[in-house]
């Protein structure tokens, strides 16, 4: 059974007040709150196990290593990777995307092409621009229509023998739009030998992920958006691809042998995990997976979709509101502006006085904002612990902001 109050009781922070009002936390696309089970795992690591991993024969090191590798296997199952060593611990989605763009440098040359979309976070734009600067490759951008929907006919025209990388997000962080990645991957496979990269930062918290069925070459996501600590994330890559590509960072853990004459590299996953990892955070990421599995992917998705549908309906009833991507397939996000109010942060500050946490601004997606000719939006984003009552509070807050600012 799905018991929303039982779920909320697992998040101690939801019981606090902000500006004398009960906290209504609707900024989950930026970062989610953490259940007590995850926080307890973090605390237990530092109070009972704290030691470096993979490097010691003493008991604490061995136990810490076992716990982190257990977490890796949990994540392998969570995304249905074929091998646990295809799961690389990172600091988050941004590091994962930068890692991929760097290790592909030798695979691109002048006038090769990289395809991304208008709906990308800056983290899935800038690393590819930097790769183009290093190699002379060119960036092609799938356009969107007035509803924020990708124009797939233009994508079809972009695909050619010059296409070497296709990198898109599964869900837009700014608008919540769900992109047709199955179609994108299928068409890429049919027409090119390009690498396919999927940014799953906004999909891993909401969807059941199956990288084998998806048939992507790389999949990246962040732990902190799916109930785990900040500074955690995952890069999945197909075994044969990761084994053939060069390392990203050099140093401890990724070494097989090292001398002044030359160095050889460790096998997967350690080839891409140089330096001391965020051991406590990585173990807690496994605990976050446990939490999501216990609640159930279907329960999470059904509840969040119901929240989105309810929030959109209630906001539109106010009148004088523009919801971006209103007619597109979306999940977890309603991104809007009040008509006649040019600064979204003004709305956000009024809501904050009522204890309501939303995100305002361009959401690290300035091309999207430029397309709609706006400076930013008010973004309310949902997680499994949010309630319909909180949506009602949001709606009343928006009404108050409308009265004060219009």
Answer yes or no: 42 catalytic: no
Q: How far apart are CA 259 and CA 237, in angstroms?
A: 29
Q: Is the alpha carbon torsion for 212, 218, 223, 226 positive or negative?
A: negative
Contact in structure between 337 and 398 (CB atoms under 8 Å): no
**Nearest CA-CA partner of 291 in 39, 14, 24, 16:** 39
Catalytic residue among 42, 216, 258, 364, which?
364
Cα 119 from chain centroid (whole Å): 13
315 CB-contact burial (10 Å; exposed 0-12 / middle 13-18 / buried 19+) = buried
Following CA atoms 323, 324, 328, 329 in sequence, which dihedral angle do they give, to the nearest 10 degrees? -80
Q: How far apart are CA 4 and CA 9, in angstroms?
A: 9
Contact in structure between 49 and 67 (CB atoms under 8 Å): yes
Q: How far apart are CA 171 and CA 219, in angstroms?
A: 13
Enzyme catalytic residues: 364
């Amino acid at each position: 059974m799905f018991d929303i109050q039982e779920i909320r009781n697992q998040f101690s922070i939801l019981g606090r007040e902000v500006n004398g009002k009960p906290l209504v936390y609707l900024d989950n696309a930026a970062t989610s709150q953490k259940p007590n089970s995850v926080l307890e795992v973090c605390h237990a690591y530092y109070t009972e196990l704290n030691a470096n991993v993979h490097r010691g024969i003493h008991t604490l090191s061995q136990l810490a290593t076992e716990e982190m590798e257990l977490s890796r296997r949990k994540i392998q199952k969570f995304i249905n990777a074929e091998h646990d060593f295809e799961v690389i611990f990172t600091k988050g989605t941004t590091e994962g995307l930068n890692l991929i763009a760097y290790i592909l440098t030798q695979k691109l040359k002048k006038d090769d092409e990289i395809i991304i979309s208008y709906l990308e976070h800056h983290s899935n734009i800038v690393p590819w621009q930097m790769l183009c600067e290093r190699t002379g490759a060119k960036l092609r951008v799938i356009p969107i229509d007035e509803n924020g929907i990708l124009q797939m006919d233009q994508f079809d025209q972009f695909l050619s023998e010059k296409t070497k990388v296709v990198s898109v997000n599964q869900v837009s962080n700014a608008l919540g739009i769900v992109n047709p990645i199955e179609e994108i991957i299928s068409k890429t496979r049919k027409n090119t030998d390009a690498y396919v990269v999927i940014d799953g930062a906004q999909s891993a918290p909401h969807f059941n992920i199956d990288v084998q069925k998806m048939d992507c070459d790389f999949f990246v996501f962040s732990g902190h958006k799916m109930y785990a600590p900040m500074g955690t994330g995952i890069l999945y890559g197909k075994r044969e691809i990761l084994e053939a590509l060069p390392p990203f960072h050099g140093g401890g853990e990724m070494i097989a042998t090292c001398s002044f004459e030359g160095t050889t590299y460790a096998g997967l996953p350690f080839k891409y995990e140089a330096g001391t990892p965020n051991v406590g955070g990585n173990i807690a990421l496994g605990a976050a997976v446990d939490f999501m599995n216990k609640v159930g992917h279907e329960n999470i998705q059904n509840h969040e979709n119901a929240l989105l549908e309810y929030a959109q309906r209630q906001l539109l009833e106010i009148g004088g509101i523009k919801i971006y991507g209103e007619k597109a397939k979306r999940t977890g996000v309603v991104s809007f502006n009040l008509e006649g109010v040019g600064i979204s942060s003004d709305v956000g500050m009024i809501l904050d006085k009522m204890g309501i946490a939303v995100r305002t601004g361009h959401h690290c997606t300035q091309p999207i904002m430029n397309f709609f000719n706006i400076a930013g939006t008010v973004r309310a984003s949902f997680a499994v612990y949010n309630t319909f009552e909180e949506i009602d509070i949001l709606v009343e807050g928006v009404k108050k902001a409308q009265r004060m600012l219009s």
